Amino acid sequence: EAQVTQNPRYLITVTGKKLTVTCSQNMNHEYMSWYRQDPGLGLRQIYYSMNVEVTDKGDVPEGYKVSRKEKRNFPLILESPSPNQTSLYFCASSSLDSTSGNTIYFGEGSWLTVV
C-alpha cells in the first residue's frame, strides 16, 4: 500500500528543545516536501527535495532544517522551536514522472505544540 508515514503524530515540546519529525515514503518518489497548516493561511511549503542530497527552501523555511540522505526519508528538524512554530505539519511525496498524473501523496499530519 502506498504510504507516507510521519512521526510523531502529536507532540508537545518546550521552547528551544530540538526536535525532529520523521517522514518516510514507500513509493520510491523523487520529490518530497514539508508543509505547515495554519488557520486562515492554508498550507504553506517549508522545504522540498527533488532527490537525494538535493533540497531547497519553500515559502516559509525560517526556523527549519531538512535533510535527504536516503530517497525514502525526509526529516524535518526544528533546531530551537518557538511558539510560532506551533502548527499542523504535513509531509508529502510525488513522482517526477509525468505519467504518474501529478498525484501528491500526503502523510496524516503531525500536530506540534511549542510552549
- Residue 93 parent element (H or E): strand 87-94
One-letter amino acid for residue 3 of the chain:
Q
Smallest gap, in angstroms, from Cβ of residue 3 to another protein? 12
Nearer to another protein, 22 or 31 (CB): 31
Binding residues vs another protein (CB under 8 A): 31, 33, 35, 40-45, 48, 50, 58, 90, 92, 94-98, 100-104, 106-109
CB 9 within 8 A of CB 71: no
Smallest gap, in angstroms, from Cβ of residue 81 to another protein? 22
Smallest gap, in angstroms, from Cβ of residue 15 to another protein? 25
Smallest gap, in angstroms, from Cβ of residue 17 to another protein? 25
SS (H, E, C) 10-59: EEEECCCCCEEEEEEECCCCCEEEEEEEECCCEEEEEEEEEECCEEEECC
Q: What DSSP character marks residue 77? A: E
Using only the alpha carbons of the chain, give its radius of gyration: 14
